[in-house]
Amino acid sequence: MDERETVLKIENVGKKYILRQKAPYPVGGTKSERLKYNLSLNKTVSEDFWALKGINLEVKKGERVGIVGRNGAGKSTLLKLISRITEPTEGRIEYEGTVAAMLEIGTGFNPELTGRENVYLNGAILGMSREEIDAKYDEIVDFSEIGRFIDTPVKKYSSGMMVRLAFAVASTLNPDILIIDEVLSVGDMRFRAKCLNRMSDIANDGKTILCVSHMMNVIRDLCDRAIVLEDGRIVHDGDVEEAIRLYNGKSEGFKAGHYEYSIKNRVKGYKCDRLVIKSLDIVGNTDSVYKWNEPISFKFNVDAFTDEENIGMRLRFLRDDGVPVATAFIEPFANFKSGSRGDVFVTVEKHNLAPGNYRCSITLVKGRPYDIYNNIDSINDAFFITVLNVGSDEGGVVSDNAGRLWADSWGRSRITDVRAELKQGD
């Protein structure tokens, strides 16, 4: 058993919200029902909604726990309960020491005040004493890279400057338990990397951390344990990779490996009156997790409403934060007859993607697949895959002792078929 002391204990916690909605007009009702509706002052119906139910969690000192789950799963509610912004409906939460939350940093910034004044205001709001802020002031300004603008009212700052200053203040917090909620989706790439490094430093410092993020690489980098929330319940607690796999499978709420599309999955402007991609199934892989050298196969179902000839396609891979990584082009391969329906089978033999989570988009194109003006149908986030870290014995890259197989600095794609040749002189 883990001998570290427990710093946070959540017992059987539930949070109930009461949803009030406008009652529907009794269309088919009797005259008296309609009259009653019209005369009633309170035209609402309430419904109980448990955002969290039966949550049990124990966190040891120095653990870095990631919390994942799709929108509405209860992640933020859980953090709100722990950071005492709202109270639980039932159950008990107990913790040792102080808790501070880096929730949507910049809260409490006042646009009229200068950077310097806001540092003190924000610090106080986050629970720091004046002396603590005094001691860390130079470090904060230095980290934020605000420089000589520190005495300018914050309303004159660019949004990037504002965020940098806010993060700088928040990251100097020194609580016993630190809560991080999606704060890293800010700033430019370089500053984001700097933030991530700072977070890793804090994490490696032995601090207890609770972290919510939709960016799986953040969870992977920062956390050594992860829980998955679904409909207000914990469905997984433990291994990080396993949690990410579960999250990927569930992120769209469909059964793993099967996706169905509606107008919502398309970018605005697609009329869905020519070729329509209806659904997609992953072939030969139950959890959408691949090794770097494993082929990816899937099939999708297309309804044709017009005659279409010479149809090619594009298959795009995006990082889970939306940055495009790679694209596969498939030259025209099919003709469709109006009124017909067909399955398209696609196999990517060698994807060369680095370990990580990917969102994949498919686009049907008339003619050559490079012509972005001839798209016929396009599905964003058509399916999700995870590419695994594997050791060299499984054909992956050489492992280092830290257990990290793929360094982030190596980018997102593994280039294969490279040759080096030495031509020695005399």
Partner 1 sequence: MAKTVIEANGKNLQYWRDIWRYRGLAAILARRDITVRYRQTFIGLGWSVISPIINMLLMSFVFGYVADLSTDGQAPYTVMVYAGLIPWTLFSRNLQIASASFLTSAGLMKKIYFPRIIVPLGTSLAIFIDTLISFGVLLIIMLISFFNMGFVPSPRMLLLPLFVIIPSLLGFSTGLFLSPYNIKFRDLNQAIPFLINIGQYVTPVAYSFAVACASVPERFRFIYSLNPAAGAINAFRWCIIPTNEFHMPSFISSLVFTAVFLPLGIRNFRKGERNFVDLV
Write out the residues near partner 1 by the rule CB under 8 A.
Answer: 17, 80-99, 101, 103-104, 107-108, 110, 112-113, 117, 120-121, 124-127, 129-130, 153, 176
Least Å distance, CB 67 to partner 1, is 18
Nearer to partner 1, 77 or 361 (CB): 77
Nearer to partner 1, 100 or 196 (CB): 100
Spacing of C-alpha 414 from chain mean position = 24
Cβ neighbours of residue 288 under 8 Å, at least 6 residues apart?
248, 249, 256, 257, 282, 383, 384, 385, 386
- Least gap, CB of 97 to partner 1 (angstroms): 4
Extract long-range pairs of 244-248: CB within 8 Å, 24+ residues apart.
Answer: 244/68, 244/216, 244/219, 244/220, 244/357, 244/386, 245/287, 245/289, 245/386, 247/68, 247/69, 247/70, 247/216, 248/216, 248/288, 248/289, 248/357, 248/384, 248/385, 248/386
CB-count exposure of residue 91 (10 Å: 0-12, 13-18, 19+)? middle
The span from the CA of 35 to the CA of 381, in Å, is 49
Name the residue nearer to partner 1 (CB basis): 9 or 291: 9
**Least Cβ distance, residue 360 to partner 1 (angstroms):** 35
In whole angstroms, the minimum distance from the beta carbon of 344 to partner 1 comes to: 48
Cβ-based nearer residue to partner 1, 210 or 318: 210
Q: How far is the CB of 90 from partner 1 (least distance, A)?
A: 5
Nearer to partner 1, 127 or 295 (CB): 127
Q: 């991080």: which residue's tokens? A: 180
> Considering the complex, what minimum distance in angstroms separates the CB of residue 62 from partner 1?
14
* Cβ-based nearer residue to partner 1, 121 or 328: 121
